Amino acid sequence: MSIHAPILAIAVPLLGGFAVPLLARIHKKIRDLWVLVVVLVVAACAGYVAAHVLKEGIWIYVLGARNPQETLAPGGFPIRIMLTADAMSAFMGIIAGLIVLVAFPFALKYIPEEEGKTLSLTLGVLLLAGIMGMSYTGDLFNFFVFLEVTSIAACGIIGFRTWTGRAPEAAFKTILLFGLSGLFFLLAVAFLYGEYGALNLAYLAAQIKGSMVDRLALALFLAGLLIKVAAAPVHFWAPDAYGEAPAAKTPLLVVNTQVSLYGLWRILFTVYGGALNAGVGWLVVSLGLLTMVVASFMALAQTDLGRLVAYGAVSQIGYMMLGVGVGLVTLSGRPDYGLVAMKGGIFHMLNDALTIGLLFLCVGAVEWAKGTRDLRELGGLGHGLPGVALCFLLAALALAGIPPLNGFASKILIYEGSFRLSPILGAVAVLASIFLLAVFVRAFQGAFLGPKAEVEVKLPWGFFLSLGVLAVGILVLGLVPGFFVEELVTPAAKALWHGRALYLAAVLGG
């Protein structure tokens, strides 16, 4: 059974998601147990795939073939849909598995029964299936299908609270933009298919020449995926979406954005690797800087705690784009600082998932306790909710990159790499960090400090379990980052940096 681990990580949540409404008819507890079982299986498969890939190299699984390694049909052409898990895919799988392990138990307690808990859990499990599919797939059209699956499931989650006026508005905007991004992506896939007659990532990578059609397709890929990633100037769906979704599910949406970012790196580094010029890298770098600055400034003006954290999440995407973008710019010469910046950008994905996840779960706890997220009405919660206040402070400091927390470990790599490319990049990144710290300190003071406020509702212990696990993760990653960087992040960065030949050889060579 363990040789089927990559496809089980995708198929089990698919099956599980469809079965949740059926099981909910039998008994609610069975549904909750089923969701927990599905999440555990996915996390176990993701861990197994990561362990295997880091030890033995790229794992290929061909769907529907006579044996899972049979990539080439007679004639030398990869004809079936295959899953290609290299170190970067395994890394994204680990992030997804970790976050759902924490978020789903929180969600099971957070969403009240009468608000359609069955539907919310179904959408969450289907979103998980889409995320794992996007991480592991090695086929371009399969990536598109899972991209759309995540778009639809995410918009269902965002618009979940249809009785408020704001959630459907956020969901409409988001599905419009997600649908548009999917259509741009499909048009790019159509161009590449028309040119080369293949959809397999490795085969396309071997054939890409840099002709006019290829460059058109690259522009369309960038347009589509940059919308999904919430890069400025098309980031405006993210604050609405992250703010209006139920706070227990927002970490999943953040992981969805990061997996779209992974898709962008996969296309830029592996498919287009040889045919890029530095201009694309500079585009990614400048959009990353713009995202950082715009999101930090917009966060200052927010009075809703959820939207403020959402703008913080958007600004961190800018850091990831800056880090890996520096790697893109220097791809032809491959100096050392390019790899350092890429390691920072990729490590930041993991740290950001933990930090922003913790922040959103804290916002959810506050909303559960007080019923509102407006900073003008909150205050003095530090007395009644000390655990939540401490976690919020920890996560805010980690977000801003204060040692010895995990944000510092990844940001120092990004600063170093980008500074060596151009001092302005490093300077702007540091300034944006400091600005964001000021914003979050103000938020912390507005919500948690001040005269003591009454908190009548007691938080369930499940909340504190999820908050505690994430807080411990932040501390561990901050105190001993070296282990994680060496074992997880460096293979992932190297898989993108100079692993293209290995990827092609694994799929096409045998």
Partner 1 sequence: MIGNLPFVVCMILIALGLWTLLAKRNLIKLVIGMSLIESGVNLFLVSLGYVHGGIPPIYTYAPNDALMVLPTPQALTLTSIVIGVATTALMLAFAVVIYRHKGTLDARKIRDLRG
Partner 2 sequence: MTVVVRTITRIVLPISLVLGGYVVMHGHLTPGGGFQGGAVAASGLALVIVAFGAGRLAGRKGLFSALESLGGVAFAALGFLGLGVTFFANVLAGSGKLFGHPVPYGPNSGDLNTGGTLPLMSWAVGFKVLAGLSAVVLLFALFGGESDR
Residue 208, Ramachandran bin (φ over 0: left; ψ between -120 and 50: alpha; else beta): beta
Stretch that binds partner 1, among 9-17, 169-177, 451-459, 490-498 (CB under 8 A): 169-177
Q: Which is nearer to partner 1, 32 or 304 (CB)?
A: 304
Stretch that binds partner 1, among 52-60, 96-104, 157-165, 325-333 (CB under 8 A): 157-165
Q: Which of residues 166, 209, 334, 452 is near partner 1 by CB under 8 A?
A: 166
What is the H or E stretch that residue 482 is in?
A: helix 481-484
Instruction: Assign 232 to helix, strand or coil.
Output: coil
What is the H or E stretch that residue 61 is in?
A: strand 59-62
Instruction: Enumerate the β-bridge partners of residue 77.
Output: 73
Q: What are phi and psi of 73, to 5 degrees?
A: -75, 165
Q: Which is nearer to partner 2, 11 or 219 (CB)?
A: 11
Neighbours of 301 (CB within 10 A): 10
Q: Which residues, in sequence order, are CB contacts of 170 under 8 Å at separation 6+?
A: 158, 159, 237, 240, 241, 243, 244
CB of 176 to partner 1, least distance (A): 6
CB of 148 to partner 2, least distance (A): 15
Give Rg (Cα) of the chain: 22
Q: Which is nearer to partner 2, 1 or 212 (CB)?
A: 1
Q: Which of residues 100, 175, 218, 280 is near partner 1 by CB under 8 A?
A: 175
Q: Which is nearer to partner 2, 67 or 376 (CB)?
A: 67
Q: Which of residues 19, 30, 390, 430 is near partner 2 by CB under 8 A?
A: 19
The helix-helix angle for 278-300 and 423-448 (nearest 10°) equals 30
Distances (CA, A) of 26 to 31, 33, 39, 124, 173: 8, 12, 20, 20, 36
Q: How far is CA 319 from the centre of its chain?
A: 13
CB of 510 to partner 2, least distance (A): 16
From partner 2, partner 1, none, interface partner of 180 (C-beta below 5 to 8 A by class): partner 1
From partner 2, partner 1, none, interface partner of 172 (C-beta below 5 to 8 A by class): partner 1
CB of 353 to partner 2, least distance (A): 27
According to the binding rule CB under 8 A, does residue 180 interact with partner 1? yes
Q: What are phi and psi of 377, to 5 degrees?
A: -100, -20
Binding mask 41-80 for partner 2 (x = CB under 8 A): --------------------xxxxxxxx------------
Stretch that binds partner 1, among 55-63, 167-175, 276-284, 381-389 (CB under 8 A): 167-175
Q: What are phi and psi of 304, to 5 degrees?
A: -95, 125
What is the C-alpha to C-alpha distance for residues 454 and 103, in angstroms, rounded to an integer?
Answer: 27
According to the binding rule CB under 8 A, does residue 372 interact with partner 1? no
According to the binding rule CB under 8 A, does residue 417 interact with partner 1? no
Q: Which of 137, 166, 165, 161 is nearest to 149 (CA)?
A: 137
CB of 310 to partner 1, least distance (A): 11
According to the binding rule CB under 8 A, does residue 162 interact with partner 1? yes
According to the binding rule CB under 8 A, does residue 21 interact with partner 2? yes
Stretch that binds partner 1, among 129-137, 145-153, 337-345, 404-412 (CB under 8 A): 145-153
Sign of the CA dihedral with 422 first, then 427, 433, and 436 last: negative
> Is omega for the bond preceding 404 within 30 degrees of 0, making it cis?
yes
Identity of the residue numbered 107: A
Stretch that binds partner 1, among 99-107, 185-193, 433-441, 444-452 (CB under 8 A): 185-193
Burial class for 452, CB neighbours closer than 10 Å (0-12, 13-18, 19+): exposed
Residue 14, Ramachandran bin (φ over 0: left; ψ between -120 and 50: alpha; else beta): alpha
Q: Which of 299, 290, 277 is nearest to 319 (CA)?
A: 290
CB of 190 to partner 1, least distance (A): 5
Applying CB under 8 A, the site for partner 1 has a residue count of: 36
- Residues at the interface with partner 1 (CB under 8 A): 141, 145, 148, 151-152, 155-156, 159, 162, 165-166, 168-172, 175-176, 179-180, 182-183, 186-187, 189-190, 193-194, 199, 239-240, 243-244, 298, 301-302
- Residues at the interface with partner 2 (CB under 8 A): 1, 4, 7, 11, 14-15, 17-22, 25, 61-68
